[in-house]
Amino acid sequence: MLNAAERKEKIIEILKEKKAVKILSLSKMLKVTRETIRKDLYELEKEGLIKKIHGGAVLDLPNQESDYERRKTKNLEAKRAIAKEAAKHVEDGDIIYLDYGTTTYLLAEELLKLKNITVVTNTIPIVNLLLRSDSVNLVILGGMVRKNEDSLYGPFASNNIKNIYVDIGFFGCGGIDSFSGITNHHIGETEISKEMMSHCQNKIILADHSKFGTTAFNQTATFSDVDIIITDKDIDEEIKSEILKHNVEVVIAKGASGGEENDD
Amino acid sequence: MLNAAERKEKIIEILKEKKAVKILSLSKMLKVTRETIRKDLYELEKEGLIKKIHGGAVLDLPNQESDYERRKTKNLEAKRAIAKEAAKHVEDGDIIYLDYGTTTYLLAEELLKLKNITVVTNTIPIVNLLLRSDSVNLVILGGMVRKNEDSLYGPFASNNIKNIYVDIGFFGCGGIDSFSGITNHHIGETEISKEMMSHCQNKIILADHSKFGTTAFNQTATFSDVDIIITDKDIDEEIKSEILKHNVEVVIAKGASGGEENDD
DNA sequence: TATTTTTCTTTGCAATTGCTAATATACTGA
DNA sequence: TCAGTATATTAGCAATTGCAAAGAAAAATA
């Protein structure tokens, strides 16, 4: 009927629809014995396409993770605590901007529960997350796609920013220091962030403890440009006093612990 | 240690990382017995979060399919044949526009093999598809998200179109008729398509046989506006002669068969 | 504190699955 | 056609898992 290669293709096809298949049901579907299927699965596993489980198999396609997706899991607890704290500042009906970064993604997860908010963003994973929500209006600034970072930047976005104003802007960052202020790595993204800053009524910075005392390449804002900084641990006194000098509120989100790496 | 609810959360968390877990390993990880885990899994399955398999479980998150994703599988063979034919018109180095619709998505799949092309689009699934390609530059027009259709439209996109010109534009459609020309359903999307038409050097319409003889709400273009129409079957003589009158090339893509439903 | 309820563990056995090696069948090339 | 090779089946047994029911522990309630 089918040769080994066809059978394996069929197995992959079946696995793509169902999450998992039993060897026995495969053997019935493809009309070969248990042992033949087992051999097929063994080979498919060696090829890295599936993963064998007791009595069957599940798909294990090589899902190319972007750098962005990898970063999302770093300092997760701290970021989630910050996101939960940030979410408290959003009310039903608000129009908000979610900047680049992984912490803003976690904030988007929290916002799923709110009703009738409008989210402006240029981060593709945030778009995909909010796409299936009935209660969130979504607006995308547009622009050139930055591969591996899943973000948009450039003149398309700049043009659109000129015409809009939002209630709150939530900004991630690459570094915060008393000397350099709030900095980020990518010049194109930084440009968009800067422009959005002047179109947000309130500006809130989300920065886990690993960001303090470090400086990235491009300045997004000085302390006097922002209203609130949310972090997860008490921060260095020198930086803190510098921040407070500029009338910025510093909020420590509760419920995080551990983690040291600076990733953004 | 952990109560039932915490345990279940943990199980989901573990499942999100690994594709599948064995009951035995869960029982060791969470330090409860096999039977306890089995009960947890039974309940998680009832909640629809996982699927039990022999000896373990796999994740089964409710992946809400959009209308767009559902439509993608209709008339698939015809659309894929059209997409393959359309791909022949694209050369390395081209800058192209991919309009709304599911046929343009299939074209994007074909284009993955090409090098150094730039794709302008406003269809989110196309963005997600091309995001992981190293060889395709991606530009997004931006705009308001149309939920369930995974597309963007509105003034943000319009503003950006004013400044760009592309080599080829590939357009899907809702209907083609001798009386109404090329029509589409959504007024916002149609507006964007129309504007893009006048910024493409070549305009190619992708329309499977089900679109001919039907009319949607908004006119995107007259026949004299377009250069090529690619379809999958010989089309009605009356419509054909009307199309040819306007100096439009009609291409029949080979390799498709069957399917009748009009979906877009 | 005693009692009830809920949650988790233990136990024993049937059913299913994994594994190995031997056998049968289908395909290939001289 | 016939050996030689690759592919699929069969078979037997050990190991794992599923299931149901009873017992133990923990938590809630009075």
Q: How far is the CA of A52 from the C1' of C2 (A)?
A: 52
**Which residue of chain A comes nearest to B128, CA vs CA?**
A124
Burial of B119 (0-12, 13-18, 19+ CB in 10 A): buried
Backbone dihedral angles phi then psi of residue B114, each to the nearest 5 degrees: -80, 160
Backbone dihedral angles phi then psi of residue B28, each to the nearest 5 degrees: -70, -45
The encoded tokens of residue B256 equal 């498709």
The full DSSP string for A167-190 is: EEEEE--SEEETTTEEEES-HHHH
Residue in B115, B117, B81, B72 with CA at minimum distance from that of residue B98: B117
Question: Residue A214 above 80 pLDDT?
Answer: yes
CB-based contact A54 B51, cutoff 8 Å: no
Q: How far is the CA of A31 from the C1' of D3 (A)?
A: 30
SS3 A142: coil
pLDDT band at B260 (very low <50, low <70, confident <90, very high): very low
Each residue's pLDDT tens digit, B148-204: 899 999 999 999 999 999 999 999 999 999 999 999 999 999 999 999 999 999 999
| Residues of chain B contacting A147 with CB distance shorter than 8 Å | 131, 134, 138
CB-based contact B20 A150, cutoff 8 Å: no
What's the Cα-to-Cα distance from A133 to each of A110, B81, B231, rounded to whole Å? 12, 34, 35
The full DSSP string for B56-125 is: EEEE-------HHHHHHTTTHHHHHHHHHHHHTT--TT-EEEE-SSHHHHHHHHHHTTSSSEEEEE-BHH
Structure letter (DSSP) for residue A37:
H
pLDDT band at B254 (very low <50, low <70, confident <90, very high): confident
Which ranges constitute the DSSP H helices of A98-236?
102-111, 124-130, 155-161, 187-197
Each residue's pLDDT tens digit, A161-210: 999 999 999 999 999 999 999 999 999 999 999 999 999 999 999 999 99
Each residue's pLDDT tens digit, B203-249: 999 999 999 999 999 999 999 999 999 999 999 999 999 999 999 99
| Residues of chain A contacting B73 with CB distance shorter than 8 Å | none
Question: Residue A257 above 70 pLDDT?
Answer: no
Residue in A199, A213, A207, A137 with CA at minimum distance from that of residue A167: A199
For tokens 């300092």, what's the residue? A75
The partner residues of B151 in beta bridges, in order of sequence, read B123, B146
pLDDT recorded at residue A191: 97
pLDDT recorded at residue B234: 92
CA pair distance A71, A172, nearest whole angstrom: 13
Backbone dihedral angles phi then psi of residue B183, each to the nearest 5 degrees: -125, 160
What does the mean pLDDT of chain A come to? 91
**Residues in contact with A134: Cβ distance below 8 Å, sequence separation at least 6, in sequence order:** B147
Structure letter (DSSP) for residue A145:
E
Question: Residue A153 above 90 pLDDT?
Answer: yes
Q: How far is the CA of B156 from the C1' of D15 (A)?
A: 64
CB-based contact A139 B134, cutoff 8 Å: no
